Amino acid sequence: MNKILVTGGCGYIGSHTIIDLIENGFDVISVDDNSRSTTYALSAIERLTGKLIKNYTIDLKDFDSTHTIFTDNKDITGIIHFAAFKAVGESCEFPINYYENNLFSLINLLKCVKEFKVPYFVFSSSCTVYGNPDSIPVTEKFPVKKAESPYGSTKQMAEIILQDFSKTESATSVLLRYFNPVGAHPSILLGEIPLGKPMNLVPVITQTAIGKLPEMFVCGSDYPTRDGSCIRDYIHVSDIAHAHTLALEYLIKKKNKTNCDVFNLGTGDGVTVLEAIQMFEQVSGVKLKYKIGPRRSGDVIAIYANNNLAVNELGWEIKYGLKEMMDTAWKWELFLDNKFK
């Protein structure tokens, strides 16, 4: 049984991926300092899988602490690296925090990959590396353009680091550039738990609908899109999670074409912010209180994926549409409201 280290394992996508890995026969350990997550995910994972996950509560920016994970677990065969700060707007306000956290943690992990000869590495990248693309849908062959935010810059730099690392080391890597993960586990026992004010659209929608937020703002209505709001490619978190398992299996089976392959993860359908709001209102029966506000720094106008490569090479299948994304997100918000009252 392959032992996989998931960094950021208590986080939104990390926790869903741990479940998917376990369901597909992997042994999993986690590292998460819980600075932007809670330990609730670990109990939910145990309830859903029957497995108690070992979590190292350490900061990956500290090399000595990071090193102890590998001395304790010399049989780690793969790493899925999620742990990072991820809010576009916040990164524009505190850029140094983002460069320090997102890059130092990766470098420390790669030092351990080299020393302990860990063969497989899957990196959580982002469509932000494409900047404002010249056309859509975006394929993996599109050029990486100037990032619109420090967050996007950290993903670009991390990809360069991994590509250079792969030229000199035996470890093989996959970079997964995913678009906008939303929704919750179909069991409604696990989902996104934003700490403080949420930064992403769907948690803002659900928190407004339930009354945690008095109202929400649509950031910009003057973009050159069909209704003036930004266009994004929303993808269910469980579909994203399974792609990470498939990426590991792809590397283990030596199907990779290079030492550092790249895949887009999105549905291939662009949805405007206003269309996402309309779908939520349709699914939930709740009329949202929202206002049109100014554009948000760092936002690209429109982006969605061409996912043919992931579908054909990884065998990835998308199971959930926008309706299921909004339905599970709303049910999860109701669950949270009841559980943590």
DSSP letter string, 235-284: EEHHHHHHHHHHHHHHHHTT--SSSEEEEEES-S--EEHHHHHHHHHHHH
Report in angstroms the alpha-carbon separations of 138 from 127, 132, 273: 9, 10, 19
Report in angstroms the alpha-carbon separations of 169 from 3, 124, 135, 153, 154: 20, 20, 35, 24, 22
Type of residue numbered 48: L
Q: Is 151 a catalytic residue?
A: yes
How far is residue 23's CA from residue 51's CA, in Å, rounded to a whole number? 10
Encoded tokens for 33: 């300092």
How far is residue 46's CA from residue 53's CA, in Å, rounded to a whole number? 7
Q: Which among 56, 151, 234, 250 is annotated as catalytic?
A: 151
Report in angstroms the alpha-carbon separations of 16 from 22, 48, 149: 10, 11, 27
114 Cβ contact partners less than 8 Å away, ≥ 6 residues apart: 169, 171
62 Cβ contact partners less than 8 Å away, ≥ 6 residues apart: 108
- Angle between helix 322-339 and helix 201-210 axes, rounded to 10 deg: 50
Quick check: 199 and 88 in contact, CB under 8 A? Answer: yes
How far is residue 252's CA from residue 5's CA, in Å, rounded to a whole number? 15
Active site members: 151
